[in-house]
Structure 1
Amino acid sequence: MTTRRALALVRVRGRSMLPTYRDGDVLLVLRGGRPRPGRAHVVDLPPDPAGRPRPLAVKRVTGRDPGDPARWWVDADNPAEGVTSFDVGGLPDEAIRAVVLGLVWRGLG
């Protein structure tokens, strides 16, 4: 499956990426870009334990999953908040939706 590369704007919700990004920040992202370890990305997390879908999230891709190098390990910048690969395991390539290119507008949150 080929993903078309395109620029997009996304709004951060929540506090899992503090202090880097905060609730309400607007980010410029590149959809369809290859994962870049060390950079923040928009990711599709698996459903919660009750089977409910989670919203897209901004997470830091730290590298390949040490237990399964075909998957990506994601983390939050705020160790006190957010879902990470410690909670859901590594993510497949198709769950990495976009790479964050930078902050466009600082939110009020």
Structure 2
Amino acid sequence: MTGFEPPAPRLPPRLRGPLTAVLVTGPSMVPTLRHGDALLVRRGGRAVRPGDIVVAVFRSRPDLLVVKRAVRPVEGGWWVCGDNALGTDDSGTYGVADVLGRVVARYWPRPRRFSDRRV
């Protein structure tokens, strides 16, 4: 035994508490969300429905925390896609995602509430 242990895989921070702030990075949700938008994410509450904007982790990439649109439930998880078809890596690339929470509001730079209606 050499005493060397490979480093554990780095996992993204999980949502803590019922409401968590999340910052959008990248263009995958343009035009709905933009790089730098600050979001309020709710863990729990009502069940996720197709069309909801969610924070998720791909099963094939547990180190990658993403903001995407829930499309349909599959294999005990969700098929998720970005709104920007030209600039997104989503379930088409990484497969099924596990949803950690649902986006309920954007509080910076332009406050906007994401209600039960489609956005």
Q: Which TM class, normalised by the smaller chain length?
A: 0.7 to 0.9
**Structure 2 unaligned spans of 5+:** 1-14, 111-119
The alignment yields a C-alpha RMSD, in angstroms, of 2.2
Structure with the bigger RCO (C-alpha within 8 Å, sep 6+) is 1
Q: Percent sequence identity over matched residues? A: 38
How many residues were matched structurally? 94
Per-residue deviation at 1:4? 7.9
Question: What is the TM-score normalised by the length of structure 2?
Answer: 0.69
**Structure 1 unaligned spans of 5+:** 48-52
Q: Does 1:75 align with 2:88?
A: no
Computing the radius of gyration from Cα coordinates, the structure with the larger value is 2
Structure 2 counterpart of 1:50: none
1:82-109 deviation per Cα after TM superposition (whole angstroms, max 9, x unaligned)? 2111112222xxx2111000111128xx
d(CA) in 1 for partners of 2:57 and 2:33? 18
Structure 1 counterpart of 2:19: 7
1:54 to 1:83, Cα distance in 2 relative to 1, 3 A:
farther
Secondary structure of 2:64's match? coil
Secondary structure of 1:60's match? strand
Select which of 59, 64, 69 maps to 2:73: 64
Residue identity opposite 1:98 in structure 2: G
d(CA) in 2 for partners of 1:55 and 1:16? 14
Contact 2:38 2:107 in 1 (8 A): yes
Q: Does 1:44 align with 2:57?
A: yes
Select which of 73, 98, 101 maps to 2:101: 98
